[in-house]
Structure 1
Amino acid sequence: MEDATVDRTMEELNELLASLPRLKLVAFLDGCTEAEFMVVSDLCELNKSTLSKAMTVLETAGYVTITKGYVGRKPKTWLALTYKGRTAYHAHLNALTVLTRRASETVSES
């Protein structure tokens, strides 16, 4: 594999997605249009504080939108992945796949 490809692959690995809670959140949101905070918390097995911190960092980066509202009298928060967030997540997944392939090819050549 050429050095330019290696460099590009490493650049596509996203530091924001190196955190497991943020990666879980983005991966979950990639599978839906939007999701309610407590659903994400339960299904991603993230406590409310950890999820709150993750979504705030991702919102600041422009990866997630946060919408607040009410269902009846209960306050609710919905999360959605932005186009920028979806693009970054898919680039990150692609870079991980390239690294996996690189390891496989290296072991095969040995």
Structure 2
Amino acid sequence: MKWSPEQDAALKAVDQWLKMGDRQVFRLFGYAGAGKTTLARHLAEGAGGEVAFAAFTGKAAHVMRQKGCEGATTIHSLIYRPADEDEEGALVFAIRRDAPAA
């Protein structure tokens, strides 16, 4: 596949990140239509471990799932779980200690 200069730079950044091995999360940012999902799928196919696809919004996670990023969810749902309701009936969230991003 032919990558744009920005995508090529991202591939090199991921390669560097994998070689360093000191951080659990790699964040990929860019404008809509820049090819983030295509690049993320490509990277996940070559990953030797667990991969979690996440986005800031539910809509973006939905688009990722439609484009083949199985299990894509929101960043919020990777970190928090519904825990209870407060006195006024509002949902209260707690940190997911068992989450892949924990």
Whether TM exceeds 0.5 here: the answer is no
- Give 1 or 2: higher helix fraction: 1
Q: Which has the larger radius of gyration?
A: 1
- Of structures 1 and 2, the one with the larger relative CO (CA 8 A, separation 6+) is 1
Q: Shorter chain as normaliser: what TM range?
A: 0.3 to 0.5
TM-score (structure 1 length as normaliser) = 0.31
